Amino acid sequence: MSDPFRTRVFSGIQPSGGLTLGNYLGALQRFVTTQDDGTETIYCLVDLHAITIWQDPAKLRHATRELAAGFIAAGIDPQRSILFNQSQVPAHAELAWIFNCVARMGWLSRMTQFKDKAGKNRENASVGLFAYPALMAADILAYHATHVPVGEDQKQHLELTRDIAIKFNHDYEVEFFPVVEPVIEGAATRVMSLRDGTKKMSKSDPSDMSRINLTDDADAISNKIRKARTDPEPLPDTLDALTERAEARNLVNIYAGLAGCSPADVLAQFAGQGFGTFKPALADLAVARLAPINTEMTRLMQDVDEIDRILADGAARARAIAAPILAQTHEIVGLVQRREV
Ligand code: AQP
């Protein structure tokens, strides 16, 4: 298909807890550089996704505002980017319904995130958790977004977004929805738990020691890095030698992500040194990068009305883009709409 769509970046993060270092390195840090490149950027706090697993209402409201504060503290400018929470723009849920009718049960059944989050008791998982990727496709395609920066874990969902766009275009004989490009880049596209190098660092992991939160203070960050699981060997001088050392590899990748260099550069600097040297260096770097964000988040959270005003303004701008795309979708599908007379 020819590419008639202008470059527009969309991405989101769930307010299902506080921001982690994984969210920061895998997503947020890159959201800022994309905005600063001058690309049109739309960033969404995906609260409708968060409730696919039960959330305490007061905590959800707090987490949504804190997430907005985290975006702004990390460098998202709500004038240059559109920043809003998903539930304020009805087009997401409306388009998701249409995509529920395009996506196939078999496609959704293969999603590893559903399998992981539903666990053994799938019969008891919410229908929303199963349909999550169709809502994610709607988030993106409601804006005709062309590029989606995400961490490695979202790759499969983005492939499904592409499949939905292709099937919709095919079934209705149109070239209406763009086939989006995932943007998975950088040294830390998959930050792992500090307690288990085979598990993703996650905001909903029951162990707080498994992750660094953007709200952690300097002491907490240093303590978590000091206690991070590692092995007794010194750091090697090649990446290949880290293949079987998941925890060591993770800390090297985190260092590279925070320093803006490659894991090979990190090894060039620290090869032959043990974790007694490397961990304090990593802790200093993490504190230097994250403490200013933490301070700014705390300041922003003192004016919740201002955060709500920013989200309402972003939502109005988002609705203005999504509404005509949804109306055209209705027209293509054959849903009769009220006409102006
Ligand atoms: N560990 C990670 N490493 C790199 N990137 C990550 N992302 C999440 N965890 C890591 C990226 O952050 C963005 C937002 O993710 P999300 O909040 O929508 O959902 P998630 O991927 O399910 O993140 P969490 O922290 O694991 O949340 P919970 O625990 O609620 O499921 C995405 O771009 C994601 O790739």
The pLDDT of 298-323, averaged and rounded, is: 98
In whole angstroms, give the CA distance from residue 83 to residue 71: 9
In whole angstroms, give the CA distance from residue 104 to residue 222: 47
CA of 296 to the centre of ligand 1 (A): 22
Tokens of 48: 């409708």
CA of 102 to the centre of ligand 1 (A): 26
Tell me the H-state helices in 75-208: 91-100, 105-109, 112-118, 127-141, 155-171
Of 178, 184, 91, 183, nearest in space to 138 by CA: 91
Residue intervals of the chain classified under CATH 3.40.50.620 are 8-189+303-333
Q: Is 115 one of the catalytic residues?
A: no
Residue-level pLDDT at 179: 97
Least confident of 1-15, 85-99, 206-220, 228-242: 1-15
Residue-level pLDDT at 2: 47
Q: Is the CB of 210 under 6 A from ligand 1?
A: no
Question: At the fourth CATH level, which superfamily is domain 208-299?
Answer: Tyrosyl-Transfer RNA Synthetase (1.10.240.10)
Q: pTM for the whole thing?
A: 0.94
Q: What is the CATH number of domain 8-189+303-333?
A: 3.40.50.620
DSSP of 285-312? HHHHHHHHHHHHHHHHTT-HHHHHHHHH
Residue nearest to atom 33 of ligand 1 (CA): 150
pLDDT, tens digit, 9 for 90 and up, residues 150-207: 989 999 999 999 999 999 999 999 999 999 999 998 888 999 999 999 999 999 899 9
CA of 26: how far to CAs of 23, 154, 199, 286, 288, in Å? 5, 10, 15, 15, 18
Q: Are 40 and 7 in contact (CB under 8 A)?
A: yes
Q: Is the pLDDT of residue 1 over 50?
A: no
Closest atom of ligand 1 to 154 CA is 35
Catalytic member of 59, 115, 155, 203: 203
Mean pLDDT, the chain, integer: 95
Strand partners, 85: 45
Q: Is the CB of 224 under 6 A from ligand 1?
A: no
Tell whether the torsion through CA atoms of 169, 170, 173 and 179 is positive or negative.
positive
Q: Is the CB of 153 under 6 A from ligand 1?
A: yes
CA of 70 to the centre of ligand 1 (A): 15
Q: Is 117 one of the catalytic residues?
A: yes
Q: Are 102 and 108 in contact (CB under 8 A)?
A: no
Work out the number of other CB atoms within 10 angstroms of the CB of residue 155. 15
Residue intervals of the chain classified under CATH 1.10.240.10 are 208-299
Work out the number of other CB atoms within 10 angstroms of the CB of residue 281. 16
CA of 165 to the centre of ligand 1 (A): 23
In whole angstroms, give the CA distance from residue 102 to residue 165: 9
Residue-level pLDDT at 3: 58
Residue-level pLDDT at 341: 64
Q: Is 279 one of the catalytic residues?
A: no
Share of the chain above pLDDT 90, in %: 92
DSSP of 39-53? --EEEEE-HHHHTTS
Q: Is the CB of 203 under 6 A from ligand 1?
A: yes
